[in-house]
Chain A
């Protein structure tokens, strides 16, 4: 079963990449309120059961996919 994990910078943390992309978009005349850049990780898991797959995906997210100090998932 495939599970996607979306990891985004926390609101409290300055998202430098999002800010840089936002500035480039504005410079090119695009209108936007804000832009955030995070990452999307797709895990292909052996579990057939959705609940089980979800819980092992969460374990992986806690283990390494995100850093709670600066990111949420």
Chain B
């Protein structure tokens, strides 16, 4: 049975189509979810928050999207244990919604960075890239201006002690992220997010296929 996956769209989301096709490519059934509508939290086997610039990054990146009606349903689904994956702006939205700890702030170098990075898996997620073992390296592209993960010392320690660090940048972070963190999970380990874009690495012609495992499971 193929999984039913919800893909959220906010005004300004721009990686939605890529995520949708990557999910289809791996045999699951994606469906669009609109920011202004609540949805039945029990319907989906997984939820994806793609990248982009929701609400033009107004106020703070992800701040307005995090308070939209669809996010109430995402919160409900997350509480039920549904796997939720945020990518780039999706990461920022999940942090702003308090579904993930910490916040993403402006890159240390103040510039938008568009590059390929090497990542290391620190702790496995139950669903996304679940077959990979800790220590695995993956090559994925990044494209962000506000990608520097920040959490206060006590919180950072808690995240590390709980095994909530999902991916780290190999050889130092390009954006100044605390503890070189590229991706994290919540305490229950069902909600996860990362700044790199797995949907941009699912065909050889894209420059790599390490992103495929994020869209296949079970």
Contact = CB atoms under 8 A, between A and B. Distances in A.
User: Are both chains from one complex?
Assistant: yes
A5 to B, nearest CB: 20
A21 B67 CA distance: 10
A24 B56 CA distance: 13
Contacts, number: 23
A27 B58 contact: no
Interface of A: 16-17, 20-21, 24, 27-28, 37
A17 B67 contact: no
A44 B180 CA distance: 33
B135 interface: no
Contacts of A20: 55-56, 58-59, 64
Interface residues of B, number: 8
A28 B69 CA distance: 8
A21 B64 contact: yes
Interface centre among B56, B64, B69 (most CB of A within 10 A): B64
A28 B67 contact: yes
11 contacts: A16-B56, A17-B58, A20-B55, A20-B58, A21-B59, A21-B64, A24-B55, A24-B67, A27-B68, A27-B69, A37-B59
Q: Is the interface of A mostly helix, strand, loop or mixed?
A: helix
A2 B67 CA distance: 35
Contacts of B67: 24, 27-28
Contacts of A21: 58-59, 64
A37 B69 CA distance: 22
A20 B56 CA distance: 9
Nearest to A19: B58
A28 B65 CA distance: 12
A17 B59 CA distance: 7
Interface in B51-85: 55-56, 58-59, 64, 67-69
A17 B55 CA distance: 9
B67 to A, nearest CB: 5
